[in-house]
C-alpha cells in the first residue's frame, strides 16, 4: 500500500491523505480498523518506585517505551488503516533527544507498514512547553494549535478533525470551533479534554457530552483522562486511558481501543492492553482473622488471583489491610515484620514477577470490645489534631514540627524511604501515627 501524506499550509483547508490499496471502499463491502490511544507520556518516570528495595528497575525505566512498541506492533499485526493519539505523547520537554529519536523510530515502523499516525498535542506537550523538536516522518500529521483543522482520507471516506494545545492550561471549550461534520464521511474528532471534569485531572478544554454530540461526528477520540471510559455510545465518545500506568492510583489494564468500521459505518470497540508493568491494589478485610498467619493467608490468595489476571506482566501491588480487628495493635506494633512477611508471600505467589509497592494499615479496634483509658473529650481533640495536620507541612510547622529538619538528619538509606514533599506519603505517615496512638489510648476490655 502506497502512502503520500501532505502537511497543511493554510489553516482551515482540509488536508487530503491519499491511499492506494486494492479492495472495495467503505461504501462497498470494505471493513477497516483504526487505533485510538492517548496519554503515552513517553519517558515519564513511574512515580515512587525506584526508591524501594527489590523494585523492577528495568521495567520501570522503560515501561512507556515498551508500551508504545506494543501499540505499534498491534497496529501492524491488525493491519489498521491509521492510528490516532489524542494528546500527551510526551511528558513535557525531553531530558535529551533520545526521547524524540525513540518516537521517530516507532513512527517509521508504522510508515514502513503504510500506516499514517495522527496526533494532537495535549497539556504536557503543548507548543509553549516543548523547546526541543525533530522533523517528523512523512506519515505523521500533527494538528495545528492555532485553529482546528480537518484531514480527509478520501479512499476510506473518513474526515478527521482536531486541534492541539497551544499552551499547557487551555480553559476554553475547543470543541465549539471544530468544523461541522463532513457529509457522507465517517467523522472523527480528536480532542484533549477533561470533558465535564474528572477527579485527579486539571479541567482543561472543558466540554459537554451534549456539545460533542451536537457536532454530528461518529466518534470522539478523547485524551487527558487516564481512566478508560466510554462516555457515550451514540455517538461514541471515548477516553481510552493511558497506555501505561505511572503510579499506584492508575491501576488495572492500560492500553488502547481497536475500532472496527463495517460497511454500514457501524463501529465496534475492542480494548487491547499494552502495558508492561501493571499497578494493582490488594485490599483485604482482616476482621475475621484470629492471627497474623490468617492475615498472610488472605494475601496469598489475593496475590495469586492478581497474577492469574495479569498473565505474564510484572505487578506492582499496593497492599491495604482494612477492617475492625482485635489484632489491630499487634499488626501495628509488628509492622516491619508484617511487611517483610507480606513481601515474602508476594515473591512466592509471583515467582519474582510481583512486587509489593507499599503496605498500608487501615485497621481499627472493634468498638464493641474497647474501653477508653483517657477521657472521651481528650480523644476527640487528638483526632481533630491529626485531621488538621493532614493539610501538609505548613500545618506541621504550626505545631512546631519541621519535617524537613528531621529529614536532613536521617541516614541516606532511610531518606530513600521518605518523601516529605509527597502529600500521599505525608498522609500515610500521619494516618499510621494516628492509628498507633489511638491503639494505645484504647485497650481491649480483657486488658483493662
Cis peptide before 67 (omega within 30 of 0): no
Query: Using 50, 70 and 90 to split pLDDT, how confident is the model at 257?
Result: very high
- CA–CA dist 395, 7 (Å, integer): 54
Q: How far apart are CA 316 and CA 246, in angstroms?
A: 11
Q: What is the mean pLDDT of residues 42-47?
A: 82
Region 331-357 average pLDDT:
85
Would the pLDDT of 333 be above 90?
no
pLDDT-derived band of residue 369, with 50, 70 and 90 as boundaries?
very low
pLDDT tens string 214-231: 999 999 999 999 999 999
DSSP letters of 373-394? SS-HHHHHHHHHHHHHHTT-HH
- What share of the chain has pLDDT > 90, as a percent? 44
Mean pLDDT, residues 262-290: 93
| Residue 47 confidence (pLDDT) above 90 | no
pTM of the model: 0.80
pLDDT value for 94: 78
Question: Residue 403: what pLDDT?
Answer: 62
Distance CA 205, CA 329 (A): 49
β-bridge pairing 354-364 and 314-324 = parallel
pLDDT band with cut points at 50, 70 and 90 for residue 44: confident
pLDDT in tens, 173-184: 999 999 999 999
Q: Indicate the average pLDDT of the chain.
A: 82
Q: The C-alpha cell of 199 is what? A: 477527579
Nearest to 18 by CA among 128, 208, 153, 160: 153
How many angstroms separate the CA atoms of 238 and 219, rounded?
A: 8
Could you tell me which residue, 445 or 233, shows the higher pLDDT?
A: 233
| pLDDT score of 65 | 95
Q: What's the whole-number mean pLDDT along residues 275-304?
A: 90
Question: What pLDDT, on the 0 to 100 scale, is given for residue 328?
Answer: 85
Radius of gyration of the chain (CA): 26
Q: What is the pLDDT of residues 375-422, one digit of tens each?
A: 556 666 776 776 666 656 666 666 556 666 666 766 665 555 566 666
pLDDT at residue number 51: 56
CB of 47 closer than 8 Å to CB of 247: yes
Coil, strand, or helix at residue 348? Answer: helix
Mean pLDDT of 43-61: 68
Contacts of 39 (CB under 8 A, 6+ apart): 86, 87, 88, 122, 223, 224, 226, 241, 242, 243
pLDDT higher than threshold 50 for residue 10: no
409 class by beta-carbon count within 10 Å (0-12 exposed, 13-18 middle, 19+ buried): exposed
Domains of the chain: 2-273 (3.60.21.10), 277-359 (no CATH), 365-448 (no CATH)
Amino acid at each position: 500500500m502506497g502512502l503520500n501524506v501532505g502537511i497543511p499550509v493554510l489553516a482551515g483547508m482540509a488536508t487530503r491523505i491519499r491511499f492506494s490499496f486494492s479492495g472495495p471502499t467503505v461504501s462497498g463491502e470494505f471493513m477497516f480498523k483504526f487505533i485510538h490511544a492517548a496519554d503515552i507520556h513517553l519517558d515519564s518516570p513511574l512515580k515512587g518506585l525506584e526508591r524501594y528495595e527489590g523494585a523492577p528497575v528495568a521495567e520501570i525505566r522503560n515501561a512507556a517505551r515498551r508500551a508504545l512498541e506494543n501499540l505499534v506492533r498491534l497496529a501492524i499485526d491488525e493491519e489498521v488503516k491509521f492510528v490516532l493519539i489524542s494528546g500527551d505523547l510526551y511528558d513535557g520537554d525531553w531530558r535529551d533527544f533520545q526521547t524524540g529519536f525513540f518516537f521517530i523510530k516507532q513512527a517509521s515502523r508504522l510508515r514502513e507498514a503504510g500506516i499514517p499516525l495522527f496526533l494532537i498535542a495535549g497539556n504536557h506537550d503543548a507548543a509553549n512547553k516543548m523547546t526541543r523538536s525533530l522533523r517528523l516522518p512523512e506519515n505523521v500529521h500533527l494538528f495545528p494549535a492555532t485553529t482546528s483543522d480537518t484531514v480527509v482520507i478520501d479512499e476510506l471516506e473518513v474526515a478527521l478533525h482536531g486541534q492541539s494545545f497551544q499552551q499547557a492550561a487551555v480553559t476554553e471549550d475547543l470543541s465549539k470551533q471544530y468544523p461541522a461534520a463532513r457529509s457522507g464521511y465517517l467523522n472523527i474528532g480528536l480532542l484533549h479534554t477533561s470533558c465535564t471534569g474528572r477527579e485527579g485531572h486539571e479541567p482543561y478544554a472543558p466540554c459537554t457530552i451534549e456539545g460533542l454530540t451536537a457536532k454530528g461526528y461518529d466518534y470522539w477520540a478523547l485524551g487527558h483522562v487516564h481512566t478508560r471510559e466510554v462516555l457515550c455510545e451514540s455517538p461514541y465518545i471515548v477516553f481510552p486511558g493511558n497506555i501505561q500506568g505511572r503510579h499506584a492510583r492508575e491501576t488495572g489494564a492500560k492500553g488502547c481501543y481497536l475500532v472496527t468500521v463495517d460497511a454500514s459505518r457501524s463501529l465496534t470497540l475492542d480494548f487491547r492492553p499494552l502495558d508492561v508493568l501493571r499497578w494493582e491494589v490488594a485490599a483485604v478485610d482482616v476482621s475475621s482473622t484470629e492471627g497474623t498467619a490468617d492475615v498472610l493467608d488472605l494475601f496469598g490468595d489475593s496475590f495469586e488471583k492478581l497474577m492469574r489476571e495479569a498473565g505474564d506482566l510484572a505487578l506492582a501491588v499496593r497492599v491495604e489491610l482494612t477492617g475492625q480487628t482485635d489484632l489491630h495493635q499487634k499488626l501495628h506494633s509488628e509492622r516491619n515484620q508484617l511487611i517483610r512477611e507480606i513481601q515474602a508471600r508476594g515473591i512466592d505467589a509471583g515467582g519474582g514477577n510481583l512486587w509489593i509497592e507499599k503496605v498500608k494499615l487501615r485497621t481499627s479496634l472493634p468498638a464493641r470490645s474497647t474501653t477508653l483509658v483517657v477521657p472521651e473529650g481528650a480523644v476527640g481533640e487528638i483526632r481533630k489534631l491529626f485531621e488538621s495536620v493532614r493539610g501538609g507541612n505548613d500545618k506541621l510547622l504550626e505545631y512546631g514540627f519541621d519535617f524537613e529538619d528531621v529529614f536532613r538528619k536521617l541516614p541516606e538509606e532511610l531518606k530513600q524511604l521518605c518523601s516529605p514533599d509527597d502529600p500521599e506519603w505525608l498522609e500515610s505517615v500521619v494516618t499510621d501515627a494516628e492509628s498507633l496512638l489511638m491503639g494505645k489510648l484504647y485497650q481491649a476490655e480483657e486488658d483493662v
